[in-house]
Amino acid sequence: MLNIVLYEPEIPYNTGNIGRTCVASGAGLHLIKPLGFQLTDKYIRRAGLDYWPRLHPTVHEDYTAFCRAAVGHRVWLATTKAHQIYTDVSFGPDDFIMFGPESRGIPEEILTAHEEDCIRIPMMAGERSLNLCNSAAIVLYEALRQNHFSGLELHGALHHLVWKTDDFQ
């Protein structure tokens, strides 16, 4: 199972939305303390909708505790400072993809210690960053695509409705 890791997340709406994406995609969610909110916060539950009760996030007391739990797994670090693009790496089926706090990103000392594992989403020059929820979804779904969307429902079912031309006026 792929995993999203939020390092010291600050905004409950973002974590709630990412939790919803994790449930829908079958990914795990890992949260590294300190958190900028309580997991019982109404805002996190509002953003996560009815998906949140089905999410069972793993909460790590700190970065060191997370590293102990992730031994043997590849951890990708999403940052605007990376030299390689997220589509240029090969994601494994049980990799971790880490995102930093909304206001400051993953600390520089972690990034420099793992520079070969840093990935970025291309943006226009001079732009600071994308929203955390969007970034997590973009990278997660590329990792899922590379792993052939394993375990996910690949085909929907259209209901054949008859439309009248005056329905579009």
Residue 125 makes CB contacts below 8 A (sequence gap 6+) with none
pLDDT of residue 157: 85
End-to-end CA distance of the chain: 46
Q: Tell me which DSSP letter residue 26 carries.
A: T
Average pLDDT, the chain: 92
Known binding residue 129? Answer is yes
Identify the CA nearest to 54 among candidates 42, 64, 65, 45.
45
pLDDT of residue 115: 97
pLDDT(43) > 90: no
pLDDT(78) > 90: yes
Cα atoms found within 13 Å of the Cα of residue 150, Cβ hemisphere only: 10
Of the two residues 37 and 64, the one the predictor is more confident about is: 64
SS3 label, residue 84: strand
Using an 8 Å Cβ cutoff, are 70 and 96 in contact?
Answer: yes
Residue 128 CB coordination number (10 Å):
7
pLDDT of residue 158: 84
Q: Say what percent of the chain tops pLDDT 70.
A: 93
Identify the CA nearest to 70 among candidates 4, 161, 142, 165.
4
Kindly state the helix (H) or strand (E) to which residue 115 belongs, with its residue range: none
pLDDT(98) > 80: yes
Using an 8 Å Cβ cutoff, are 15 and 34 in contact?
Answer: no
**All domains in the chain, ordered by first residue:** 3-168 (3.40.1280.10)
pLDDT of residue 111: 98
